[in-house]
Chains A and B, each alone.
Chain A
Amino acid sequence: MKTVLLAPLDPVHDNAIKLLKRKLTDAGYRAVALPPGSTEEEVVAQALEEHPIAILVSRTLGYKVAETLGHLVDLAEAAGLRPQTRLGVGGMAITRELGAELGFDGCFVGSLDMAELLGFLEGHAIAGPAEMAQTAPRSRPDVTAGFTYAWRDATIAGMLDQITDQILAWTAGKTSPAIARAELRAEMLTDPDPDLRERYIALCDAEIQAFYRQGTLPLGVRRLEESELAALPGATAGTRPPFESLRHGRQKPLFFVQYGTGCPIMDITHIRLAEDWGVDGVLHFDPSWGAQREGLLEGLLTHEHDGTIVTLDNLRLIRQYMNPATLWNVRGHRGLNTPETQVLAQAAGADLLKINIPYGSTGGGTDPARLTVDGVHSLRLAARYGLPFDIPGNDELSGVPPQKTFAGLLIMVMLGLKLGARPIPKPLLCYSPYMTIEGLMDADFVDMNFAKLRVWQEIVDAPVWPGEPVGFMTHSPERVQSAITTAAHAALASSAGVAAVTIASSDEAYSKGPISAPARVDSLRATRELLRFFGPADIQPTPRAEELQAQLHAGITATLNAIARRGDFVAAIYEGLLGSQEDGLYPGRTGRGSVMTAAN
């Protein structure tokens, strides 16, 4: 058995030594620990008796640290220990620079990393952070893995079957300019034929046509310059740390953040800092005007407004600088370019798509008939590409009760499954207008949110991914409050066993400027801390959560029943069955009257 000598060269602090002794013993070493306050001479004398493979020194106090440690190295050298015994040092007072300067063989900073320490004891090279990141490649996880999509509520499944059959029958033989452009764009990816481009341009709005024909950029948009792109290869100063998950030992959930600063270079910077602070995936948000124009732009484009312009070049640039293990979702669920966005996202290497017909065709969104046609085509693309698609339930923010929003999500789940895609419903954990008005979350934010997650388990075995982001409308501009409420919702979702969570920044409630880099760190740091606090312990809701869950389940059933009886999904949206004007919702108008009959 190999011996390791543990020496707290510190008058009082030896917690690290005790921890190391236990962990090294567990790892099969004979760990001999000296008491706190041991002198350098006593350490060397003990080493000459024990013949350890290493002396690990811990030092917390900064006072005379260099003098004390330097003396130990000198004594070990003079005693002839160094050929057989490696010297390692760690503790609060130690930096890598100091350890190397004093002549230690290994220096350990930050929290205890046993893999790194064991590598040192066994004589392997100690990997620096960048090397460790490279030597421990992560694979990109699949959010849908392990879910069967088996229906547990036969009544709901039956109604969904009826509703989605009607949707597929209604969309048969229909097309739109967006579908035609998506098909052209797919061809243009591999075929430079100018005729394809001309046909594409002919299907665009005048502003987009002006871009292609006269080179006119929309107001506030500029092209990224060569000098900016040339400066990108480093992308961040310094080396990147090894990935540290936010999960603290749990297998789930995966953590996502949204980006869309308006600028691909700023996005790259924000994505990389989010990766460095532990996120598993990111979601691309485009500008709202991009959803309201027929046609997409091309090239490397930046602008000074929210949302980063969807072009193939922008998407590819962003993906290029992302960690290969980072999951990537490109939003395209609500606008006039939904099918083409799926084409470009897949071409740029996206892992997930985002499609929700009911949500996208209400409020300031797209006409329900148009988005139903485009949405079904987009689901077919998702199936063809083998990419899961998520279904955001953010219509709750307009005042829609969750039972109606969830009914819409369920329709999308069934529709996606029928078309061969893998759906991921995203119930929103929020303090919505409906909850505020009805007083349903006055007592706490736990019971209703648990009810909203658990009701899914009663209906279908699908991955549930609360978003987008969690805690919507609980945030204030006060950053401590904002970070804590995000972390609390993330911890609740984690406790409920969800597949993934989208978390906000602490700028969530700040509306006078773009989300800042430090605000991202705030929430990620708070989430990490709260998940560390709870560990494997779960949050327990009160019995009221079961009552709320039952009410929610009954409401979903009633909503779907009304839509099934209506027998016309598009008409049901127009008539407010998935959210009425009284709820705060109205049908989208963009693209109205643009559904066409397919040529064959």
Chain B
Amino acid sequence: MTKALAHVVDALDIETFLYCKDEDEAKILAEALAAELGLPHGDVVFVEHRGAGARVRIRSYIHHPGDHYRWLGMEDGK
């Protein structure tokens, strides 16, 4: 069984709600979260803070167009 990460066609997005005081803190936390999860080049796609926290989406490209895709040639998920 190959690693699941190899099956990600291009982007891996993580959406969550962060408990934080404002948007700036949300961005810092989101970037830190990407690093803690080991996501390469994590980017904050979206952040919206209201009241107790912020809804955020973090993106990391596992495969960029033009890369050698690890999923290429995998049939039936193997």
Find the A residue at minimum CB distance from B73: A231
Interface string of B17-52 (1 = CB under 8 A from A): 000000000000000000000000001011010000
Of B48, B63, B68, B76, the residue contacting A228 (CB under 8 A) is B68
A-B contact count (CB 8 A): 76
- CB contacts (< 8 Å) of A477 on chain B: these are 45-46, 57
User: Is A514's CB under 8 angstroms from B64's CB?
Assistant: yes
- CB contacts (< 8 Å) of A422 on chain B: these are none
B74 contacts partner chain A, Cβ-Cβ < 8 Å: yes
Query: How big is chain A's contact interface, by range?
Result: 20 to 34
Residue ranges of A at the interface with B (Cβ–Cβ < 8 Å): 220, 222, 225, 228, 230-232, 234, 237-238, 261-263, 265-266, 269, 302-304, 476-479, 510, 512-514, 516-519
Of B10, B45, B66, B77, the residue contacting A303 (CB under 8 A) is B66
Of B9, B10, B45, the residue contacting A510 (CB under 8 A) is B45
User: Is A512's CB under 8 angstroms from B43's CB?
Assistant: yes
Of A238, A302, A478, A510, the residue contacting B48 (CB under 8 A) is A478
Residue ranges of B at the interface with A (Cβ–Cβ < 8 Å): 9-11, 13, 43, 45-46, 48, 57, 59, 61, 63-69, 71-77
Closest 6 CB pairs of A and B: A231-B73, A516-B11, A304-B66, A263-B65, A261-B65, A262-B65
- CB contacts (< 8 Å) of A476 on chain B: these are 46
Of B46, B66, B74, the residue contacting A479 (CB under 8 A) is B46
- CB contacts (< 8 Å) of B77 on chain A: these are 237-238
Judged by DSSP, the binding face of B is loop
Of A234, A261, A263, the residue contacting B73 (CB under 8 A) is A234
- CB contacts (< 8 Å) of A234 on chain B: these are 73, 75
CA distance A262 to B57 in the complex (A): 25
User: Is B57's CB under 8 angstroms from A479's CB?
Assistant: yes
User: Is A516's CB under 8 angstroms from B10's CB?
Assistant: yes
CA distance A230 to B73 in the complex (A): 8
27 A-B pairs in the complex with CB atoms less than 8 angstroms apart? A230-B73, A234-B73, A234-B75, A237-B74, A266-B66, A302-B66, A303-B65, A304-B64, A304-B66, A304-B67, A476-B46, A477-B46, A477-B57, A478-B46, A512-B45, A513-B59, A513-B61, A513-B64, A514-B61, A514-B65, A516-B9, A516-B11, A516-B59, A517-B9, A517-B10, A517-B11, A518-B13
Find the A residue at minimum CB distance from B74: A237
User: Is B13's CB under 8 angstroms from A237's CB?
Assistant: no
- CB contacts (< 8 Å) of A513 on chain B: these are 11, 43, 59, 61, 64
Nearest Cβ in chain A — how far from B66, in angstroms? 4
CA distance A232 to B71 in the complex (A): 11
- CB contacts (< 8 Å) of A232 on chain B: these are 72-73
Find the A residue at minimum CB distance from B15: A479
- CB contacts (< 8 Å) of A304 on chain B: these are 64-67
Nearest Cβ in chain B — how far from A306, in angstroms? 9
- CB contacts (< 8 Å) of A516 on chain B: these are 9-11, 13, 59, 61
CA distance A513 to B65 in the complex (A): 10
Find the A residue at minimum CB distance from B55: A478
CA distance A228 to B67 in the complex (A): 11
CA distance A478 to B13 in the complex (A): 12
Find the A residue at minimum CB distance from B9: A517
CA distance A479 to B61 in the complex (A): 17
Additional pairs, 12, CB under 8 Å, beyond known A220-B66, A262-B65: A237-B75, A263-B67, A265-B72, A266-B65, A266-B66, A479-B57, A513-B59, A513-B61, A513-B64, A516-B11, A516-B13, A517-B11
